[in-house]
Amino acid sequence: MRSLAGLLLAVPALLPYSAAQADTSLSVPAFSLGISSYESFFYYSPPPADVPPSISVRSSSQTSTVISLDSFEETLQFEVHGTSSMHPGYLKSTMNLQSNAGYLITGVMFSASVYGVFTPPEVPSFATNVEYGGHHDVAWGGAAISAPGSTVVVPEMYQVTNFWTPVGVSASVFNTAGLGNFDLSLEMWGSVGAGRTYWQAAGIPDVEYKSYGQTEMYYVNPTLTVYTATLPVPEPGTWAMMVAGLLLIGASRRRS
């Protein structure tokens, strides 16, 4: 069903990070992350399978870590056929991020590619008085991300209709002062609708028929990029002052 997935090979590949396994939590030298809530909803159109939440590390360095949202891609598949109603759906997740000693988290960015597949209504060759209805093949998607206490630089949402080729969806939060322990909320959504055509058969002018198209939409390669910074290491002179201060405190306590 995902016949266009091969077209997305142009997305640059990243080197794997120490063969990490997909799971609901992960840890790298700079921070640890765990999924604390995971909820999906699809109106009229259930997800293709009951996919448990899973994430994995794709690449990591001192300044950034790319996390693959494995189960998000499997869950966020939309399809409608045989009806003109819009079929919305969403996936919400809350994750806890904890920076490790010597590091701070300065930003998080979500990104993915989204594409739609449209099949117009089929009308038989003997049809007459063909009229395209008020419902068209349509698909749209978007994303939002938030973190308490952070400065939202790009509260970005993306909405697109009638797209045949992959388009980018992204959202991000940044805090240049750094964050240590916080919850991150991520939401992705979409909706699809199929086209409708009215037609009549030759020789039967009083009977009106309807034909419906099919619309599919997929999220591809969803990732989180976590940006980190190392805490400054005190200069040797600063260390000496700290040690001297501790010695003075110890001496004063002994005298008292």
Per the model's pLDDT, the better-predicted residue between 196 and 157 turns out to be: 196
Residue 15 has pLDDT above 70, yes or no: no
At 212-253, the pLDDT tens digits run 888 888 888 999 999 999 987 665 555 456 555 555 555 555
- For residue 130, give Cα distances in angstroms to 121, 207, 210: 11, 12, 10
| Cα four-point dihedral sign 163, 68, 13, 181 | positive
Residue 93 has pLDDT above 50, yes or no: yes
At 226-237, the pLDDT tens digits run 999 998 766 555
Residue 4 has pLDDT above 50, yes or no: no
Flag whether the pTM goes above 0.85.
no
- For residue 108, give Cα distances in angstroms to 111, 173, 186: 10, 6, 10
Determine contact, residues 217/240, Cβ cutoff 8 Å: no
Q: What is the mean pLDDT of the chain?
A: 75
Of 32-46, 52-66, 168-182, 228-242, minimum mean pLDDT range = 228-242
- For residue 102, give Cα distances in angstroms to 99, 176, 178, 185, 230: 8, 16, 12, 25, 6
Q: What percent of the chain has pLDDT over 90?
A: 19
Per the model's pLDDT, the better-predicted residue between 137 and 125 turns out to be: 125
The alpha carbon torsion through 102, 148, 112, 27 (nearest 10 deg) reads 30
- For residue 42, give Cα distances in angstroms to 88, 189, 198: 6, 10, 28
d(CA 28, CA 48): 32
pLDDT at 34: 95
| Cα four-point dihedral sign 160, 214, 186, 97 | negative
d(CA 206, CA 99): 71
Mean pLDDT of all residues in 200-205: 82
Question: pLDDT-derived band of residue 210, with 50, 70 and 90 as boundaries?
Answer: confident
At 51-90, the pLDDT tens digits run 778 899 999 998 999 999 988 888 888 877 766 567 788 8
Which of 55-69, 142-156, 177-191 has the largest mean confidence? 55-69
At 94-106, the pLDDT tens digits run 999 999 999 999 9
Q: What percent of the chain has pLDDT over 70?
A: 69
Could you tell me which of 97, 7, 14, 21 has the C-alpha nearest to residue 61?
14
d(CA 89, CA 94): 17
Interacting residues of 147 by C-beta distance below 8 A, sequence separation 6+? 108, 173, 175, 179, 182, 183, 184, 185
